[in-house]
């Protein structure tokens, strides 16, 4: 009886470890990113993604006043200071990755500078899973707060 219980527990632990390793490897692969026709890609039909530029925009863009380039450079610095690893940075597009603390899953963060409108559009999405318990939304709101403070100080 005890032997069967030990085997069952060992099997469950082994299955959980294999699932964790598979998700870790899978989360390292970047999904299609970048802009489509000058705009950030819309989110898939899952609650683990937020985007300010989609038809069903579910988060507001970040607003700035004054020259665009200093605001953009400052925002890139905020991303790096918040733990984002900047993968690509151009004069109007930024792609960074963030890793979750415990499971080390990768989230993709993208931003697009709209100089004419005086905004920075943002998109944040988990690579794996369905629901992220609003983690990507909270990340954008924290970055927005940091952006506001930095903008007020300049």
CB 89 within 8 A of CB 103: no
Q: What is the mean pLDDT of residues 90-109?
A: 91
Whose CA is closest to 114, among 79, 141, 153, 75?
Answer: 75
- Looking at per-residue pLDDT, the higher value among 8 and 80 belongs to 80
Residue 61 has pLDDT above 60, yes or no: yes
- Looking at per-residue pLDDT, the higher value among 42 and 26 belongs to 42
Residue 7 has pLDDT above 70, yes or no: no
Q: Which letter, b or e, does each residue of 121-139 get, where b requires 16 or more Cβ atoms within 10 Å of its Cβ?
A: bbbbbbbbeeebeebbbeb
Residue 30 has pLDDT above 70, yes or no: no
- Indicate the pTM of the whole model: 0.79
Residue 20 has pLDDT above 90, yes or no: no
pLDDT of residue 21: 47
Residue 11 has pLDDT above 70, yes or no: no
Give the sign of the dihedral formed by CA 78, CA 80, CA 82, CA 85: positive
Distances (CA, A) of 8 to 2, 3, 5, 14, 88: 10, 9, 5, 10, 46
Which of the listed ranges 7-16, 42-51, 53-62 does the model predict with the highest average pLDDT?
42-51
pLDDT of residue 26: 45
Residue with tokens 């959980």: 16
Q: What is the mean pLDDT of residues 91-111?
A: 91
Residue 27 has pLDDT above 60, yes or no: no
pLDDT of residue 97: 96
Domains and CATH numbers, the chain: 31-153 (3.30.310.80)
- Looking at per-residue pLDDT, the higher value among 19 and 85 belongs to 85
How far apart (Å, rounded) are the C-alpha atoms in residues 62 and 79?
Answer: 13
In sequence order, what are the residues at sequence separation of 6 or more whose Cβ sits closer than 8 angstroms to the Cβ of residue 91?
Answer: 69, 72, 113
Q: Cα 145 vs. chain centroid, distance in angstroms?
A: 16
- What does the block give as tokens for 23? 């998700």
Residue 23 has pLDDT above 50, yes or no: no
Q: What is the dihedral of CA 111, 107, 79, 68, to 10 degrees?
A: 0
């Amino acid at each position: 009886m005890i032997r069967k219980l030990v085997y069952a527990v060992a099997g469950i632990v082994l299955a959980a470890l294999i699932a964790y390793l598979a998700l870790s490897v899978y989360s390292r692969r970047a999904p299609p990113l970048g802009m489509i026709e000058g705009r950030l890609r819309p989110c898939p039909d899952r609650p683990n993604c937020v985007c300010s530029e989609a038809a069903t925009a579910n988060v507001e863009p970040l607003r700035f006043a004054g020259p665009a380039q200093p605001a953009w450079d400052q925002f890139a610095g905020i991303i790096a200071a918040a733990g984002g690893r900047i993968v690509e940075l151009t004069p109007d597009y930024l792609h960074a990755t963030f890793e979750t603390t415990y499971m080390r899953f990768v989230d993709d963060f993208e931003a697009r500078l709209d100089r004419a409108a005086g905004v920075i559009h943002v998109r944040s999405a988990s690579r794996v899973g369905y629901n992220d318990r609003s983690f990507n939304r909270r990340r954008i709101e924290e970055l927005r707060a940091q952006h506001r403070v930095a903008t007020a100080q300049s």
